[in-house]
């Protein structure tokens, strides 16, 4: 909250006198959450255009994580999701320092209790502190700041299938947005559970939202997810992409009609060819069976890309296969850890 205050960010709690947004919750033993009240932190960059300042772009990251393990080691969650919070604080600072004045309001929503069930984002999305009808887009940064494997990082955007006009616009600006691969795919291709984030309560409320991720799972949900494992070049590139996305939407005067149950399209599946190609290029010494399995998956996706059609019964299998293979390769190929890596924190390397 001090960082938001120093950046000149307006207080975005219920009556505008505080950054805190309190909501009723319940203790959660697994996550060491002993309070009956959840605490989101909300800041505002008020829109400069009187005709559009009741409209808002909501940028989210969660500050909670997993508490302690059975041996009382703290899960610090640098990648998941301190880096997302850091991205918000830095962008808020940079916007303030530049005197940036977008037409629409930018909401910085730093959520509580994401890990224990998206409670902080859900509470705010149900009772937002800005006009609900004016929420143009929610962006959940979670997690960001690691590449998938050494030498290959990408940014993924999930959920834009609910906002087709915005999806087309972002897809068209892809070269300017990102120097790395930008994967745009259907949220339903990511299995839930276990994978969810703060954009989900927005989508459930019928609010356009996007899940902004750097998939990089080497230390995901482990006590080894420490600051020393963050790849700052990846984080910086993500903040650049985020800044352009926020700028583009906050200065727009279009709304993006919400599509309730968008179907998975061939391009949602074909999008996974980019990270598969990235991994194959970055890991030349990959074992034969893993390489063959990835190449086989890429062939199936290529056939879908070329024909533009697929058997709907295949979707779940293909999506799961792509996610499972990329996730496993991320876990088993953490690469060299930038020093100083915490002594004894080697669980993920075995």
User: Pattern of binders to Zn ion over 131-170, x per CB under 5 A?
Assistant: -----------x----------------------------
- Tell me which H or E stretch contains 234: helix 232-250
Choose the binding region for Zn ion from 80-88, 200-208, 282-290, 325-333 (rule: CB under 5 A).
80-88
Q: Per-residue DSSP letters for 297-338? A: HHHHHHHHHHHS---GGGHHHHHHHHHHHHHHHHHH---PPP
Write a three-state SS string for 19-85. Answer: CEEEEECCCECCCCECCCEEEEEEEEECCCCCCCCCCEEEEEEECCCCCECCCCCECCCHHHHHHHH
Choose the binding region for Zn ion from 53-61, 78-86, 183-191, 227-235 (rule: CB under 5 A).
78-86
Q: Please, what is the minimum distance in Å from the beta carbon of residue 91 to Zn ion?
A: 18
- From the DSSP assignment, how many helices (H) and strands (E) are in the chain? 11, 9
Choose the binding region for Zn ion from 77-85, 220-228, 242-250, 274-282 (rule: CB under 5 A).
77-85
Choose the binding region for Zn ion from 24-32, 73-81, 164-172, 240-248 (rule: CB under 5 A).
73-81
Show the beta-strand stretches assigned E in 54-175.
Answer: 56-62, 105-111, 135-141, 154-158
Contact 262, 315 (CB under 8 A): no
Single residue of 80, 161, 225, 268 touching Zn ion by CB under 5 A: 80
Task: Name the token pair of 189.
Answer: 């291709």
Query: Closer CB to Zn ion, residue 119 or residue 273?
Result: 119
Tell me: does residue 225 bind Zn ion (CB under 5 A). no
How far apart (Å, rounded) are the C-alpha atoms in residues 77 and 150?
Answer: 20
Tell me: does residue 198 bind Zn ion (CB under 5 A). no
Choose the binding region for Zn ion from 81-89, 157-165, 212-220, 275-283 (rule: CB under 5 A).
81-89
Single residue of 40, 64, 81, 181 touching Zn ion by CB under 5 A: 81
Query: Closer CB to Zn ion, residue 40 or residue 81?
Result: 81
Question: In a 3-state reduction of DSSP, which class is residue 40?
Answer: strand
Q: Count the site residues for Zn ion by CB under 5 A.
A: 3
Q: Please, what is the minimum distance in Å from the beta carbon of residue 331 to Zn ion?
A: 16
Task: Name the token pair of 278.
Answer: 């990235």
Q: Please, what is the minimum distance in Å from the beta carbon of residue 200 to Zn ion?
A: 12
Tell me: does residue 55 bind Zn ion (CB under 5 A). no
Q: Please, what is the minimum distance in Å from the beta carbon of residue 10 to Zn ion?
A: 26
Q: Please, what is the minimum distance in Å from the beta carbon of residue 142 to Zn ion?
A: 4
Q: Please, what is the minimum distance in Å from the beta carbon of residue 143 to Zn ion?
A: 5
Query: Closer CB to Zn ion, residue 120 or residue 262?
Result: 120
Question: In a 3-state reduction of DSSP, which class is residue 295?
Answer: helix
Q: Please, what is the minimum distance in Å from the beta carbon of residue 206 to Zn ion?
A: 23
Whose CA is closest to 273, among 300, 252, 308? Answer: 300
Query: Closer CB to Zn ion, residue 47 or residue 138?
Result: 138
Q: Please, what is the minimum distance in Å from the beta carbon of residue 201 to Zn ion?
A: 14
How far apart (Å, rounded) are the C-alpha atoms in residues 254 and 142?
Answer: 26
Contact 91, 59 (CB under 8 A): yes
> Where do contacts with Zn ion occur on this chain (CB under 5 A)?
80-81, 142
């Amino acid at each position: 909250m001090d960082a938001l205050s120093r950046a000149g960010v307006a207080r975005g709690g219920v009556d505008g006198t505080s950054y805190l947004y309190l909501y009723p919750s319940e203790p959660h033993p697994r996550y060491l959450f002993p309070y009956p009240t959840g605490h989101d932190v909300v800041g505002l960059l008020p829109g400069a255009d009187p005709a559009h300042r009741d409209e808002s772009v909501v940028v989210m990251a969660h500050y909670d994580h997993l508490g302690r393990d059975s041996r009382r080691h703290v899960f610090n969650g640098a990648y998941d999701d301190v880096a997302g919070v850091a991205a918000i604080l830095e962008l808020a600072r940079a916007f303030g320092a530049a005197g940036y004045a977008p037409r629409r309001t930018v909401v910085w929503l730093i959520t509580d209790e994401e890990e224990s069930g998206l409670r902080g984002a859900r509470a705010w999305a149900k009772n937002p502190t800005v006009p609900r009808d004016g929420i143009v887009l929610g962006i959940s940064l979670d997690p960001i700041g690691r590449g998938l494997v050494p030498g290959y990082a990408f940014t993924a955007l999930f959920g834009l299938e609910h906002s087709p006009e915005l999806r087309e616009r972002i897809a068209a600006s892809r070269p300017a947005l990102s120097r790395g691969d930008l994967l745009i795919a259907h949220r339903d291709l990511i299995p839930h559970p276990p994978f969810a984030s703060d954009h989900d309560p927005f989508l459930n409320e019928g609010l356009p939202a996007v899940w902004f991720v750097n998939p990089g799972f080497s230390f995901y949900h482990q006590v080894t997810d420490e600051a020393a494992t963050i790849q700052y070049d990846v984080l910086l590139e993500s903040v650049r992409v985020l800044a352009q996305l926020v700028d583009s939407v906050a200065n727009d005067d279009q709304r993006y009609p919400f599509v309730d149950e968008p179907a998975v399209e061939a391009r949602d599946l074909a999008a996974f060819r980019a990270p598969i190609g990235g991994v194959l290029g970055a890991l030349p010494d990959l074992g034969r069976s893993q390489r063959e399995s990835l190449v086989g998956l890429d062939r199936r996706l290529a056939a879908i890309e070329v024909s533009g059609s697929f058997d709907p019964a295949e979707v779940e299998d293909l999506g799961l296969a792509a996610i499972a293979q990329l996730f496993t390769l991320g876990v088993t190929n953490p690469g060299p850890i930038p020093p100083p890596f915490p002594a004894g924190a080697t669980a993920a390397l075995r």
